[in-house]
Structure 1
């Protein structure tokens, strides 16, 4: 028998997908306003709390943005073609290590390419996400994990190859909840940010080998932390 909780989760997921479809059909872009929670609830014929739950799911993925006293807006991730499954179960430590080891095979080469090409848009996004992460660390913002994912995507984007960016997306965004768990287990946001800043500096200065080594060392360090915590 389907529980009430399971039904609510399914309804919430369906509503979240409906909102994404609404954004696409109306051609809305990041920063564009959405209808109020009450208006959206009326549009989809559901209770306001149920609608709010669906929107909060989308907020966690960066698809919508709640602005206190202002309203709901289209979030920065609304145009992404690859997104996490918000219903996946919490991964165990072995799965997290496998994910990190997969990233360790790919991201150092992407960092090396980024330092060689230094695509201006990718560099700008890299610097923007670093600054945003620093502010989120200071404020205790629980969306830091998403910004950290965007930093790694920005490094890939600095390489100027959109296909490689999509390859990385297919790993880090589909496994986004795993990434959130990795940050929780790592437990040192300042240390993590310092390693990101070092990698960004290598890319910005055009030091391919140093960027490659910085990316590898960063992921290797995270693997060590996760392995130590599973013992």
Structure 2
């Protein structure tokens, strides 16, 4: 089969076509797609060409190719934003900028969480608060408080902003956590934010989150030799 080059790039068009196939079929994570051979026939291309387009989608978890099983829609199909997993480590000034970004974004997220939280959101937030008190050898799943707070906002884009920062910058986030000297205060602040969200007090949730992140910024700027 001969594939003539076309404007826009064949691979780009195949990726768009595969995404349209998923959308038009109302397919979600875990749903199966046709075989590589069937897809190649559908788009009138060779199997290596369709595999290349599938591999592009696989890098963002839009699809998952399981050897001997098939092709499935991935969890990343609904993401609006994607973190860069291959970025280089941040310099000190960029770590401070990371905290500044969170200080700008997360107080508003907390206010939305207080307005939009569900029973399930509150349960996960409570478990995230509890995570900080667990022993190091506790193997139960650990939930991140700020990620769960963003999920409770009900805004998928805001959740993905926070999730991307936490996922793509996990090295820097661990470094930030390591510099927190007053873990009791950190825990108490999380509890206070949770209680404000639980009570549906958006303004209190916003103020408490802002103070929590201001304290983190003070700690980081001091330890890194920056200026408040």
TM-score computed with the length of structure 2 as normaliser: 0.58
For 1:158, the equivalent position in structure 2 comes to 152
> Residues 25, 193 of structure 1: CA spacing in aligned structure 2 closer, same or farther, 3 A cutoff?
farther
Aligned length: 157
1:205 partnered with 2:199: yes
Please show how residues 90-169 of structure 1 align to structure 2 within 5 Å.
91-135=90-134, 139-140=135-136, 147=142, 150-169=144-163
For 2:209, the equivalent position in structure 1 comes to 215
Structure 2 unaligned spans of 5+? 1-57, 68-73
Q: Higher Cα Rg: structure 1 or 2?
A: 2
For 1:7, the equivalent position in structure 2 comes to none
SS at match of 2:168: coil
Q: Could you list the per-position Cα deviations for residues 149-204 of structure 1 after superposition, in whole angstroms to 9, with x for gaps in the alignment?
A: x2111111112222221122122221121111101122333322221111111101
1:227 partnered with 2:221: yes
CA contact (8 A) 1:126 1:154 kept: yes
Among 150, 171, 177, the alignment partner of 1:177 is 171
Counterpart Cα distance in 2 of 1:213 and 1:194: 15
Structure 1 unaligned spans of 5+? 1-16, 27-77
For 1:85, the equivalent position in structure 2 comes to 85
CA contact (8 A) 2:116 2:154 kept: yes
Give the root-mean-square deviation of aligned CA atoms. 3.3
> Residues 83, 192 of structure 1: CA spacing in aligned structure 2 closer, same or farther, 3 A cutoff?
farther
TM-score computed with the length of structure 1 as normaliser: 0.58
CA contact (8 A) 1:116 1:207 kept: yes
Counterpart Cα distance in 1 of 2:164 and 2:91: 20
CA contact (8 A) 2:83 2:165 kept: no
